[in-house]
Amino acid sequence: MSVTIAVLSQKGGTGKTTTVRSLADVLARTGLDVLAIDADPQGNLSDYFDVDPAAEPTLAEVLAGQAKAVDAVHGQVIPANLGLAESELVLAGKIGREVTLRNALREVKRRHDVILIDCPPTLGLLTVNALVASTHALLSTQAQHFSLQGVEQAMEIFDLAKDTLNPELELLGVLLNIANMRTRHARQTLEALDERFPGKVFNTVIRQSIAYAESAERARPILEYRPERGADYIALAEEVLTRLGMDDRARRLEQVRQDTLPARLLA
């Protein structure tokens, strides 16, 4: 059975989708069989994986019971489009709506080592479904004024899913994303997160860079597009694997560094 990680945030623009795409790439480089699931009707992750917009079936058909999840895998991702928003509305009227995704992913979980779910930037039914279907949650936040408040709101949904429907759900960690650590505000945000979530905030901070948006536009993972900017995600993957108890995979990341990063970053 795979490890399933829901990556969520209370708002958009926190680097959540880039985190899913980049982690999927780095983890796969350690030899893990990784599947990503786009649970956001905007379909940004699907675009990042360069999935044909007309590809069918998608997560919408899976949640509607019109297709099996194993048949909705396109390359490394189960894609989404605006049809997912309509599926969420239909889902809201069903009994057992919160466990629909978990039930749909049973066969998929037997076929992959790690599943990463890109949640929508809202804390609604799709996010709840992702949390109920997951073994772990990763919270992404920016170094902005209301970031701690947003993490608190996301934690409320996390606690709701854990307390009522998925008692085995664990908080994998809180990630400070798209941050300029040269600013006092970013450093204060990190300190506040550490104080509120002791032992759960990742040591790795994803530094701000236009390269991530450019790599998404070109549908290329950051280690292919701008390898030097991939160093943060290799470090994050190492923390993720260590927290999951996959120490042997974490050790393989040193070879990934050697193979992908510029020599000046390895000195």
Kindly report the pTM of this predicted structure. Answer: 0.95
For 191-207, letters b (16+ CB in 10 Å) and e give eebeeebeeebbebbbb
Q: Is 22 exposed, middle or buried (0-12, 13-18, 19+ CB in 10 A)?
A: buried
**Is-contact 218 230, C-beta < 8 A?**
no
CATH number for 3-266: choose from 3.40.640.10, 3.40.50.2300, 3.40.50.300, 1.10.3720.10.
Answer: 3.40.50.300
Q: Which two tokens stand for residue 126?
A: 């799709």
Cα maximum dimension of the chain: 57
CA 50 to chain centre: 17
The domain spans of the chain are: 3-266
Q: Are strands 3-8 and 114-118 parallel, antiparallel or unpaired?
A: parallel
Distance CA 170, CA 217 (A): 33
Task: Give one DSSP letter per residue of 14-68, joined into a string.
Answer: SSHHHHHHHHHHHHHTTT--EEEEE--TT-HHHHHTT--TT-SS-HHHHHTTSS-
Using an 8 Å Cβ cutoff, are 59 and 79 in contact?
A: yes
What tokens were used for 149? 């408040």
Who contacts 61 (Cβ-Cβ below 8 Å, separation ≥6)?
67, 72, 87
Calpha distance 254→239 (Å, rounded): 13
pLDDT by residue, tens only, the chain of 267 residues: 689 999 998 777 778 999 999 999 999 999 999 999 999 999 999 999 999 999 999 999 999 999 999 999 999 999 999 999 998 888 888 888 999 999 999 999 999 999 999 999 888 899 999 999 999 999 999 877 667 788 888 999 999 999 999 999 999 999 999 888 888 888 888 888 999 899 999 999 999 889 999 999 999 999 999 998 999 999 999 999 999 999 999 999 999 999 998 877 776
CA 193/CA 41 separation, integer angstroms: 29
